[in-house]
Amino acid sequence: MATITNKPAAVPGNVPSALPADAGLKQVGNLKVLVFDNYDSFTYNLVHALKELGVKNLDVVRNDKLNLDEAAVYDKIVLSPGPGVPSEAGLLLPLIHRYAPTKDILGVCLGHQALGEAFGATLVNLGDVHHGLSESVHTVAYDPLFAGLPASFEVGRYHSWIVAAEGLPDCFEVTSLDDEGQIMSMRHKTLRLHGVQFHPESVLTPDGLRILSNWLLLND
């Protein structure tokens, strides 16, 4: 299994600061957000976090209950964590294929893996399951999700699969790694797609609200 060995770098803009000022709350409150639920207990932690950040117009739809046409009305889509692999998660991959060109999508854990797989990345099963672990990740490229964060920060991990570094499609840029050089986040170079292997909604991710807030405030 290949890993990426970039050393942690100080990334422009990734320095400590407060959460966005109230000026951004109106923008967030006007968003229509779909949380695509992959039958995971963390889904409602994500929902709670998004509502805490000011999202008022939010729907939660399970991965085998969505009419793909109905997703067209949403400004942003969150792909939740979940068990198994993306191909087993109902309409997860079809949703990505349909809306990746036009929607702002954040993939969390399984959702992150699905973004990679939808564009041709492969997944690797880890020998050791990362479940409820607090570990460090290190930014290696600029990512607007991490604006206001230090170059290294703690996150909560709950997974047994990762997106393989070997053969990662060129359309993705890796933006953070763990201590072993495994991909912890990535973003598409031309589309509005972001994936995080860790759980920003977990209490083990102290900067999780900042990460979710940064994503909600992205508008380009």
* Domains of the chain by start residue, with CATH: 23-217 (3.40.50.880)
Contacts of 149 (CB under 8 A, 6+ apart): 14, 15, 16, 139, 207, 210, 211
Element (H, E) at 51: helix 43-52
Per the CB < 8 A criterion, the answer to whether 157 and 151 are in contact is no
pLDDT of residue 2: 43
E-only strand ranges, 91-122? 104-108
pLDDT of residue 159: 81
Residues that are catalytic: 109, 199, 201
pLDDT of residue 27: 83
Q: Which band of pLDDT confidence, cut at 50, 70 and 90, is reported for residue 128?
A: confident
| Model confidence pLDDT, tens digit, residues 168-205 | 999 999 999 999 999 999 999 999 999 999 999 999 99
CA distance 177 to 43: 24
Mean pLDDT over 160-171 rounds to 96
Q: What is the pTM of this model?
A: 0.89
Mean pLDDT over 26-32 rounds to 88
Q: Which band of pLDDT confidence, cut at 50, 70 and 90, is reported for residue 219?
A: confident
pLDDT of residue 54 exceeding 50, the answer is yes
CA distance 212 to 197: 14
Q: Which band of pLDDT confidence, cut at 50, 70 and 90, is reported for residue 23?
A: very low
CA distance 78 to 154: 21
Eight-class DSSP state of 145: G
